[in-house]
Structure 1
Amino acid sequence: MTRRLISSGSRFEEEIGYSRAVVDGDLVWVSGTTGYDYARMTIAEDVVAQADQAFRNIAAALAEAGASLDDVVRVLFIVPRREDWEPCWPVVKRHLGKARPTSTLIHAGLQTDAMRIEIEVTARLPK
């Protein structure tokens, strides 16, 4: 299998020079994904809404690769504000509860103050 690049259509990918996801062999790496609605280039103020949108963005990239959130084996969360993490737990469980991937949380600043969560995943293509 050859390396395949997947774009979400976000202007950030073109301007910065990266892909939303890369498929290589049976693995899919999805870039850190925020809660932007790329069709409208808007972002909700609420961290829970942002987390849900980020998972929808990730799911779309995985679907294009031939995988789903159920195929995720690793997830990295970046949350600037500690108090924002716990409200996101139900969203995480809804999207990743079946896969139960390994997980890491980092508290760090993001590209803009409007971004309140960023999620990166690695998935294995189903056989």
Structure 2
Amino acid sequence: MTGTIIQPEGWAKPKGYANGILDKNGILHVAGQVGWDENEVFQTHDFIGQMAQALKNIRAIVLAAGGQVSDVVRLTWYVTDAEDYLMYQAEVGTVYRKVFGHHFPAMSLVVVRGLIEPGALLEIEATAVLDID
């Protein structure tokens, strides 16, 4: 394999994938993160709560790789209900800024019919570019 597996300390080991892979050029590929905690348990079943946790998960993976939130260059959001996103847009912005501050990378939002994890309302994947010199 070309790259280093990134796994935040104390997290449950993922089954069949890696939470993050840092390649030799400093590009960190973060697997889609749902709104569960480090033990793979959903603590909330609402859109905003899951969104906050997914973003915190991404932040934890970036930090575990030696980066910071400002290194994130792309986020792709997969949501199961566009209305949830649109209905809570103000809260989305507030919660996003609490986790990521005023750093706004390139983003896409895709509405999907469903996600593989039962109970997941959204999944967010990320790419970060770390200075590994």
Q: Scaled by the length of structure 1, what TM-score is found?
A: 0.84
- Say which SS state the counterpart of residue 36 (structure 1) adopts: coil
8 A Cα contact 1:73 1:102, kept in partner: yes
Residue 32 of structure 2 is aligned to residue 32 of structure 1: yes
Do 1:73 and 1:99's aligned partners in 2 also have CA atoms closer than 8 Å? no
Structure 2 unmatched ranges of 5 or more: none
Note closer, same or farther for the CA distance 1:69–1:76 as it changes in structure 2 (3 Å cut).
Answer: same
CA separation of 1:64 and 1:112: change in aligned 2, threshold 3 A: closer
Tell me whether 86-95 or 60-69 shows the greater mean CA deviation: 86-95
Query: Residue 117 of structure 1 is aligned with which of 101, 111, 122?
Result: 122
Whole-angstrom CA distance in 2 between matches of 1:114 and 1:67 = 30
C-alpha distance in 1, partners of 2:130/2:102? Answer: 15
User: What is the CA-CA distance between 1:43 and the residue it aligns to?
Assistant: 3.7
1:42-91 residue CA offsets vs partner (Å, 9 max, x unmatched):
34111101111111111111111011222110000000001111322322
Give the number of the structure whose residues are more often helix, by fraction: 1
**Which deviations, in whole Å up to 9, do the C-alpha atoms of 1:83-120 show, x marking residues without a partner?**
11132232224334532110100000112451111111
Contact persistence 2:7–2:64 (CA under 8 A)? no
1:100 aligned residue (74, 97, 104): 104
TM-score (norm 2): 0.81
How far is 1:40 from its partner?
A: 6.2
Q: Does 1:56 align with 2:56?
A: yes
Q: Percent identity?
A: 30
Aligned residues: 123
Q: Secondary structure at the match of 1:58?
A: helix
Partner-residue secondary structure (3-state), 2:17? coil
RMSD: 2.0
